[in-house]
Amino acid sequence: MGLGKKLSAGHVPRSTGGLGSLGVSNVAQGGFVNIGVDMREIERKFEHLRKAIKDEEEQLKIHRKVAKVAKKFMQDEVQDSPVVVRVRRSGKQGGKRGPSYDIEPGTLKRSIVAWKIRQETAMWVGPRATGRLDRKDGWFAGIVESGLQYFGEGPNKGAMQRGKRKSQGPALHKLEKEYKKAIEKAAKK
């Protein structure tokens, strides 16, 4: 009886080797090698990998690294103002209520930060308004980004969009690299 007929008839060849590290058994018969697999061992390893990626702390660590890449590209697109911008809330025409203050050069660049969204592992990157009117308060970023400044369009019109576009490739590459590293680390365990 040939090997094909034996296999189709339900004949199981004898094992000539033991189980490997993944539970793979080598069975040789008539010059052919039949590889059977112990699925429980492989399923256990895949479950361990799934848990490694589901670990929110590990995801957050990876997302923070990627956010730093995007933050750097956005900050590189912003040019500091050569002058101090004076915000005056009162005058001959009245104006909004609130304090008068000065926006120092470099404030927009300093306001670009990465922050975590509540109850998620996702990160946001961009200018952030702190509400404290300090050296990092980017409340005016929308005005600058759209070019609606009192003194006309500046060199930073569209800077955040340009930074976002330029960072997408390197950020996705970093994300993929970090997740591969996390999977390989979990696979070794």
- Listed by start position, the domains of the chain span 7-37, 56-188
DSSP 3-state assignment of 133?
coil
pLDDT digits (tens, 9 = 90+) for 96-110: 777 788 889 999 999
Helix, strand, coil shares, percent, the chain, to 5: 45, 15, 40
pLDDT score for 93: 61
pLDDT at 50: 64
Instruction: Please tell me whether residue 76 adopts helix, strand or coil conformation.
Output: helix
Residues 46-57 have a mean pLDDT of: 73
DSSP 15: P
- Helix (H, G, I), strand (E, B), or coil: what is residue 90? coil
Which token pair is 29? Answer: 């018969």
Supply 31's token pair: 């010059």
| % the chain with pLDDT above 70 | 69
pLDDT of residue 187: 76
* Average pLDDT score over residue span 130-151: 83
The predicted model scores a pTM of 0.66
